[in-house]
Amino acid sequence: MPGHAKAAIVIALWLASGVGEASAQVKLGAVLSVTGPASFLGDPEKKTLEMYVDEINAKGGVNGQKLQLVVYDDGADANAARTFATRLVEEDKIVAMVGGTTTGATLAMMPVFEEAQIPLISLAGAIQIIEPVRKWVFKTPHTDKMACEKIFADLKQRNLTTVALISGTDAFGKSMRDQCVAVAPQAGITIAHEESYGPRDSDMTPQLTNIKGKPAVQAVINPGFGQGPAIVTRNYRQLGIALPLYQSHGVASKQFIDLAGPAANGVRLPAAALLVAEKLPDNDPQKPVVVAYTRAYQQKTGQPISTFGGHAYDGLMIFVEAAKRAGSFDTAKVRDEVERTKNFIGTGGIVNMSPRDHLGLDLSALRMLEIKGGDWTLVQ
C-alpha cells in the first residue's frame, strides 16, 4: 500500500509539472517526415526548428511568452499526418503549424487547419498547396514551376530552344515534368523528345541513347530526385553526350556531387541562395541571413547544409515575425500578419506575400548554379 501511495504521488507530481509547464507556453505544431523515405527532408527541418525555437526562448520568447515546439513524425505517410494534425488542433491546442514535409502530407492536413482556422505554413514543394489560394495555408519552398521557368530563362540566354526531358517517375519527377511541359510554350521552348526512368533504376543508358540519336535536341533537362539524377549524369558522360545538362532543385545538395563524381562538372541547376552562401556577392541582401543560418546549422549538427532545413527556418521566422507584429497569438490576427509579410529576407528568397500569393517568391529567389571542380558556382 505505501508503494502504491508513493507511485500515486510521483504520478501526480509528474502530471502537475507537465500541466504547469504547458500553461506558461505557447504551442507551435510541426508534423514532419523525420523518418521514412522523405527523412532527408524532414530530419534537417526538425533539427532547424528545435535549434531556433531554443534560441528564441533563450532570448525571452515571443510577445513575452516562450514557444513550445510539438513535433510529430508522420514517416511520410499522409494518413498519419492527418491524424497528427487533428491531435495538434484538438489536444495540443497549437496556435500555428510549421510543416507538412511532403506535398501529400500537406494536402491531407490542409482541411483540418482550414476548419480549425489555424495558420499552416507548409514546407512542401508542389504548387497545388497555394493554387488556388486557401485562407489559412501558406508555404515557403519554391515551386517546381519556378524551377522550370528558371531553367528555360537560362536556356534562352544561351540561345538554346529545343530540349529533351528525361524524368523520374516518382511524384517529384512527374510533377516537375508536367509543370515544365505546361510552361514551355510560353517560354518559347520546344520539348522535342521525352524519356523516363523508374526511381530505383540503376542504368539509364538506353533512354539517353535515344536522346543522343535526336539531332534537333540542344539541351537535356532531368527532373527528378534521389539517386536517379546522379546515375543519369554518370551515364550522360559515359555516352559522351556533349549537350548542356540541366538538373532540378531536387538534387541541390552536396550528396549529388559526391554520387555523380567528376561527371557532375558542367551540370547546371536552379537552387536557393543558401547553397552558395559564402560565394554570394557581399551586397546581396540574402547573404547575411544565409551565412548565419549555414554557420549555426553546421556548428550545431555537424552536417552539411541543405535547402530543406532552410525552408523550416523561413516558415518559423515568418510565423515569429507575424506574431510580433500582431502583438498576440490570436490565430486570426497572426494569419492576417503572415499574409502581410513584406520584404522578409529568408534562406529561400525575399518573401512578399499578398492575399493572392501565399508563397511570395519570384524568380530572383532561385539562382542558376553550375558545378565546377566538384563545387557550386554562381552563373552570372
Partner 1 sequence: MPEFLQFVFSGLTVGAVYALVALGFTLIYNASDVINFAQGEFVMLGGMTTVFLGLTGVPLPLAAVLAVVVTILVGLALHRFAIEPVRASGAVVLIIITIGASIFLRGVAQVVFDKRFHSLPSFIGGDAIRVGGAAILPQSLVVLAGTVVIVVLLWAFIERTLTGKAMIATAANELAARLVGIDTRAIVALSFAISAAIGAVAGILITPITLTSYDVGTVLALKGFAAAMLGGIGSAVGAVIGGLLLGLFEAFAAGYISSQYKDAVAFLIILIVLFAMPRGLFGPAPVERV
Residues that bind partner 1 (CB under 8 A): 39-40, 169, 195-198, 200, 202-203, 205-207, 209-210, 213, 226-227, 230-231, 237-240, 255, 258-259, 261-262
- Taking the complex as a whole, the smallest distance from the CB of residue 256 to partner 1 amounts, in Å, to 9
Strands (E), the chain: 25-32, 66-73, 96-98, 120-122, 137-139, 162-168, 190-197, 219-222, 245-247, 268-272, 344-345, 350-351, 366-372, 375-378
- Taking the complex as a whole, the smallest distance from the CB of residue 265 to partner 1 amounts, in Å, to 13
Give which of 223, 233, 222, 291 is closest to 257, Cα–Cα: 233
The residue (of 63 and 303) whose beta carbon lies closer to partner 1 is 303
Name the burial class of residue 302, with classes exposed (0-12), middle (13-18) and buried (19+) by CB atoms within 10 angstroms of its CB: exposed
The residue (of 190 and 303) whose beta carbon lies closer to partner 1 is 303
Show the 3-state SS of 133-195: CCCCEEECCCCHHHHHHHHHHHHHHCCCCEEEEEEECCHHHHHHHHHHHHHHHHHCCEEEEEE
- Taking the complex as a whole, the smallest distance from the CB of residue 205 to partner 1 amounts, in Å, to 4
The residue (of 206 and 374) whose beta carbon lies closer to partner 1 is 206
- Taking the complex as a whole, the smallest distance from the CB of residue 306 to partner 1 amounts, in Å, to 11
Report CA dihedral (166, 227, 299, 374) to the nearest 10 degrees.
Answer: -70
The residue (of 140 and 207) whose beta carbon lies closer to partner 1 is 207
The residue (of 303 and 377) whose beta carbon lies closer to partner 1 is 303
The residue (of 7 and 216) whose beta carbon lies closer to partner 1 is 216
Cell of 165: 526531358
Report which residue type is found at 185.
Answer: P
The residue (of 45 and 149) whose beta carbon lies closer to partner 1 is 45
- Taking the complex as a whole, the smallest distance from the CB of residue 206 to partner 1 amounts, in Å, to 4
The residue (of 115 and 258) whose beta carbon lies closer to partner 1 is 258
- Taking the complex as a whole, the smallest distance from the CB of residue 237 to partner 1 amounts, in Å, to 8
Report the interhelical angle of 287-301 vs 39-58 (nearest 10°). Answer: 100
- Taking the complex as a whole, the smallest distance from the CB of residue 227 to partner 1 amounts, in Å, to 4
- Taking the complex as a whole, the smallest distance from the CB of residue 229 to partner 1 amounts, in Å, to 11
CA distance 106 to 3: 47
Give the neighbor-by-neighbor strand order of the sheet with 190-197.
190-197, 162-168, 219-222, 245-247, 268-272, 366-372, 375-378
Residue 209 phi/psi, 5-degree rounding, is -60, -40
The residue (of 148 and 257) whose beta carbon lies closer to partner 1 is 257
Q: Would you tell me how many other CB atoms lie within 10 Å of the CB of residue 14?
A: 10
Give which of 225, 222, 219, 246 is closest to 151, Cα–Cα: 246
Query: Looking at the DSSP assignment, which residues form a beta bridge with residue 27?
Result: 68
Residues shown for the chain = 380
